[in-house]
Amino acid sequence: MASISKIIERRNCLRHALVLPACFVAITLSGLPVRAEEHIVRTRRTEWVPSVLFIQPGDTVVWLGMRGHETELIEGMGPEGGAQWDSLLDAEGFKVKFDAPGAYIYSCDIHMSNGMVGAIVVGNVEPGNLAAIDAALPRVENGRIFVERIINRMKRELNRRN
């Protein structure tokens, strides 16, 4: 007959045999790096598709269908320390990596007065730079109504997500 101490020792060994692999799996999975994604923004005549894009920090946006177009961040309409860009005309496959969370409002300067304005929101929380974007709006001279529309569309989509 096994002594009580040997029975307890076997139970403890069995418990550790089950708990340790589960802990190892949990620790290993939590330490996995998140893979950055690549998102596509296409042109359709004089609009960006999608017009509002939600991504995560570290993701990259690629602009396609750029013949006759360019893309640039509108001054004052990105988070402090965030990505800044101004592509060349016809820069097919132009890429920007977004590391800083926040909202980015961009345009095709050539077609801005036709409404070619878009928004990119980086991160899962409400962008901290919305007040700065609103404050920068009066300084937009060309196509302000379209910039205001995309900002309002972005805010509606943010409200739906929260």
DSSP per residue, 82-114: ----BPPTT-TTEEEEE-S-EEEEEE-GGGGGG
Asked whether residue 4 falls in the same domain as residue 64, the answer is: no
Which residue stretches of the chain have pLDDT < 70?
Answer: 1-34
Asked whether residue 109 falls in the same domain as residue 94, the answer is: yes
CATH code for position 79: 2.60.40.420
Whole-number pLDDT of residue 62: 98
The pTM (predicted TM-score) of the whole model is 0.79
Q: How far is CA 131 from CA 56, 70, 84, 119, 135, in A?
A: 21, 26, 19, 15, 6
Whole-number pLDDT of residue 23: 39
Residue 15 CB coordination number (10 Å): 10
Whole-number pLDDT of residue 141: 93
Whole-number pLDDT of residue 33: 55
Domains: count for the chain: 2
Residues paired with 3 in a beta bridge: none
Asked whether residue 82 falls in the same domain as residue 103, the answer is: yes
Start-to-end CA span in the chain (Å): 63
Between vectors from CA 64 to CA 91 and to CA 57, what angle results, nearest 5°? 95
